Structure 1
Amino acid sequence: MKRILITGANSFVGTNIEKWLIREPEQFQVDTVDTMNEAWKKADFTKYDVVFHVAGIAHVNPKLEMAPLYYKVNRDLTIEIANWAKEHGVKQFIYMSSKIVYHASKSLKGDWVRKDTKPDPNDFYGDSKLQAEKGLKGLQCNTFKVAIIRPPMIYGPGNKGNLPRLGWLAQKTPVFPAWHNKRSMLHVVNLAEFVKQITVREMSGTFFPQNAEYADTVEIVRLFAKEHGHKVWISRLFNPLVWLGAKFLPAIPKMFSDSYYVQEMSKMDFDYQVISFEESLKGLEIRKTMH
């Protein structure tokens, strides 16, 4: 029996991890606690084998004046909770970091990460995550294992991200450019299975889970359109519009550029990619508008 405390109540990731693990009540006991106003200090950490820390401020076009808050929550609070967990006998601390610790291209050139790629975040959001990682690594010892997860974009039912917006667009547009790309993504069920496996195996280190297949913006549009009975003409004739639009609209490179982990980085000696990319798009809630 693994006793797990998720710090970050009601979060998209935390809620889905909890749902996945409690399907096996004989193997996992899961509790959640809020991190606001030091509510987490009221929890009895001595009861738990694992703390899974998902709390943090998300990346929502942060303004420079918000930098101190990002470091306070994403770095300082993370390290404080980890210290507390270590002092109270927790054996494993799992931290949800992000691919954002690497430099993200803002052009159509795109970006890709290999095992030897050095973290180089674009802004203080990514840096606050990276600083948290460094602090956590300093706490690791034989009796306190630290597992850092750097996922790419996480998605799934109920998640309000760019994927539902793309689904909306796929149902509305009559045409779409055939500008193919490669993007690493991670369905929340695949993440949940990954967390389950590293918990059972009591693993430490830095990990890069992703879906078994790369996502392709063109194929996503094609799949969404097909599922909703909408016809879209996909053609290279419209590709110059992507090239031109990328010069003026930041959303264009974000939609059409490459952004991925090399697949070898994500291979483990256990199977966690339990849902295929095509299957994972079915049943996703589609935004009614692009806003």
Structure 2
Amino acid sequence: MKITITGVSGFVGTNLSAFLSDQGNEVLPVSMREDGWEKILDRQADALIHLAGKAHDTAHVTSEEEYYKINTELTKILFNEFLESDIRDFFYFSSVKAAADTVTGILDEKQRPDPQTAYGKSKRLAEEYLLSQQLPAGKRLFIIRPCMIHGPGNKGNLNLLYKVVSRSIPWPLAAYENSRSFLTIDNLNFLVWQMMQKEVPSGVYHFADDQPVATNKLVKLIGEATGKPVKLWNIPQKLISFAAQSGDFLALPLTTERLKKLTESYVVSNAKIKKVLGIEHLPVAAEDGLLKTLKSFN
């Protein structure tokens, strides 16, 4: 197959393009930062995977306008090019944040989207536009909502937690029990390739590993990856909450927002995509994928 990928220089793009090439496909990178990218877009390709976008900025530096310009408007332009081409499949990599910033229970595709941040809203607006367009016969539209993606070479939030725990600093939030979904890059690659080869209907699909992982378990996996003992402190939640509230005013490392991010549950269902592909389990178990990523930080 001939597969065009935008955002190929990013973490997902680098890994996915290498994986698809290993399967015997011809990968055609397109940089949307360059003027005239429309002229080099191969309109005879089999698939177009749109990864390029403005990532969620947890430091709150990015302006709201930039999110909408890149994540929404640029996606509209690319999709219009797709509609006028002979390309069969369009993969838009959105985010679970386009559906919900906080999750009660398990997040699936049936839940009504209610994004709260400019990042999530910009992704959701792009989704709405794509879903509102009439697809010509023979074309497929896949809106992919991945949860937190990780893998060797990824320097995201996992690396920050790794630095803390690997220095033998006690984990003070062990009193909180939560579950979070992750997505190893190996499972992402597998799912995309399977979707290209099978008769999958157009629609929205959540990508996540099969099992959610508790943060306390993740801390223990970091200990296993580093070969160092970890210390879990069960400090009463009331004390932790008081310290976080104090941090809001005294510029301490722990604030109420950070406490929420570190202790909240965010579980994502991958049942829909597995059902349409006819598979029971993804190739890499959640904990195995996390351990592989964590060991790469050494």
TM-score bracket for the superposition, by shorter chain length: 0.7 to 0.9
Aligned partner of 1:181 among 178, 183, 201: 178
TM-score (norm 2): 0.85
Q: What is the CA deviation profile of residues 65-120 of structure 1, one whole-angstrom value per residue up to 9, with x for unaligned ones?
A: 82222212111111111111221211110000000112323xxx867424431111
Q: Distance in 1 between matches of 2:224 and 2:98?
A: 35
Counterpart among 157, 160, 165 of residue 160 in structure 2 = 165
- Counterpart residue type for residue 11 of structure 1: G
Contact 1:213–1:277 (8 Å) recurs in 2 = yes
Match of 1:137 in 2: 131
Shift of 1:239: 4.3
Partner of 1:46, secondary structure, is coil
Would the aligned equivalents of 1:92 and 1:202 in 2 still touch at CA under 8 Å?
no
What does 1:1-291 align with in structure 2 at a 5 Å threshold? 2-25=1-24, 28-61=25-58, 66-105=63-102, 112-139=106-133, 140-171=135-166, 172-176=168-172, 177-203=174-200, 204-247=202-245, 248=248, 249=255, 250-262=257-269, 264-265=271-272, 267-268=274-275, 269-270=278-279, 273-284=282-293
Which sits farther off after the overlay, 54-63 or 187-196?
Answer: 54-63
Q: Percent identity?
A: 29
Output the amino acid matched with 2:129: G
What SS does the corresponding residue of 1:45 show, helix, strand or coil?
coil
1:107-153 CA-to-partner distances (Å, cap 9, x unmatched) read xx867424431111112211111111111113323232110001111
Q: Deviations over 1:30-61 (max 9, x none)?
A: 11110113342132422301100000111114
Q: Secondary structure at the match of 1:169?
A: helix
Q: Is the 8 A contact 2:83 2:136 kept in 1?
A: no
Between the two proteins, the alignment pairs up a number of residues equal to 282
- Verify the 8 A CA contact 1:104 1:111 in the aligned structure 2: no
Worse-superposed segment, 251-260 or 113-122: 113-122
Structure 1 unaligned spans of 5+: none
Q: Distance in 2 between matches of 1:65 and 1:163?
A: 22
User: 1:78/1:217 Cα in 2 relative to 1: closer, same or farther (>3 Å)?
Assistant: same
Whether the 8 Å contact between 1:110 and 1:257 is mirrored in structure 2 is: no
Q: Tell me the C-alpha RMSD between the 2 structures.
A: 2.5
Seen in structure 2, the aligned counterparts of structure 1 residues 47 and 279 have a Cα distance that, compared at 3 Å, is: same
8 Å CA contact 1:6, 1:32 repeated in 2:
yes
After TM superposition, the structure 1 stretch with the greater mean CA deviation from structure 2, 240-249 or 44-53, is 240-249
